[in-house]
Structure formats: structure tokens, C-alpha cells
Amino acid sequence: MIARLRRSLSFSNVIACLALFVALGGSVYAAGKISGKQIRPRSLPGNRIKPKSIQPNRIKPNSLSGRQINEKTLTGVSAAALAEVQYQATTTTLPSDGRRVSATANCPPDTYVIGGGVTLSNENQANVNGSGPSALRTGWTATAYSYWWFGPGPTMTVTAICVVVEKPRGAANNVHYEPAG
């Protein structure tokens, strides 16, 4: 048996077996000896981390954005960021000469528009051309015209739905936050 073993033991076989044991032993050693403190920040891509392997208490507060969160899995989330809903309205009389008139219901300072609308006092005498948020999202703007040629024209009332948007904790004062939409 020893003679048979000596015939199959060549220099290349011994080196190959030795390399195999070193390679296998090295990865086992590395797996048991590398800790999170030895991994450089931002060096692991997300696809290299096993799902559900990071505990919630290991995630830095306010470090995740909407891209990392599946909204369908959120429970118990309320509209806490919407501290106060306010309605602002403005009314204007449409001229009886067919000119288009724009009017804006402006939100109070430090609030933003999340919706709005427009109503006419008489829909048989005027048309609304369009309505939507103002350019900076600080109000709701509507445009209308009257085709009533006799006497004063109908009125148009523009309403804005405004909310206070709370800044996240630790946000810099020079950062401008706007609601989505």
C-alpha cells in the first residue's frame, strides 16, 4: 500500500493538494475572522447583503429614502407630516368682454399647496380654461373667461388646499422641501 502511495505522489500532486488545502482553509479563516468593523464604509453593494440580515437597530435613523422602502409593506404610517390643513380662497369677477382672467389663491407662509380647484357662479356664462398649482407650489391658479355680454360677469372662486410640511429632524435651515406632486 505504501509503495502504491509513493508511485502516485508526484511533486505536482503534492503541490496541487497543498494549494487546495490552503485555499479552502483561507476562506474559512476569513469567514470566521472578518467583522463589520474591518469592512470599509460604502464598499459593499446592496446585492451582496442577504435580505433581512440587517437588524432595524443597526440602520442609521433617517438614512433610508423612498427608493429603499417598499411602500406596500408600511403599516401604521399616518399623515403626521401634515401638521395642519388650511383652505385659502379668492374670488374675482370675470369681465363681460371675453378677456381671460387668472386668479391665484395663495397659501400662507411656510405652507405648500397639495390640491385645489375652481368654481364659477354661473357655468352657463363662463368657462374655466385650466387650473393647477402655481409655479412655486405656494398657491392654486385658475384661468377663466366669460361669454356673458350683458351686465356684470359671473364670479370665479379659486381654492387652494395648503399644508405645513415639517422638515425632517436635523435638516439644514437652507434646504427647501416641497411636497411631491
Domain ranges of the chain: 2-65, 82-165
Cα separation, 35 vs 163, in Å, equals 47
Give me the phi and psi of 178, to 5 degrees please: -130, 145
What is the rounded average pLDDT for all residues in the chain? Answer: 77
Residue 106 vs residue 136, higher pLDDT:
106
Residue 83 vs residue 168, higher pLDDT:
83
User: What does the pLDDT read at residue 172?
Assistant: 46
User: What does the pLDDT read at residue 149?
Assistant: 77
- The yes-or-no verdict on residue 120 having pLDDT over 90 is yes
- The yes-or-no verdict on residue 179 having pLDDT over 80 is no
Say which CATH topology domain 82-165 has: Immunoglobulin-like (2.60.40)
- The yes-or-no verdict on residue 148 having pLDDT over 70 is yes
Contact by Cβ (8 Å): 133, 166 = no
Q: How many alpha carbons lie under 13 Å from residue 162 in its C-beta half-sphere?
A: 23
Q: What is the dihedral of CA 168, 172, 176, 177, to 10 degrees?
A: -10
User: Average pLDDT for residues 34-45, to the nearest whole number?
Assistant: 74
pLDDT digits (tens, 9 = 90+) for 47-106: 777 777 778 787 788 777 777 777 767 665 555 556 678 999 999 999 888 889 999 999
User: Average pLDDT for residues 148-166, to the nearest whole number?
Assistant: 85
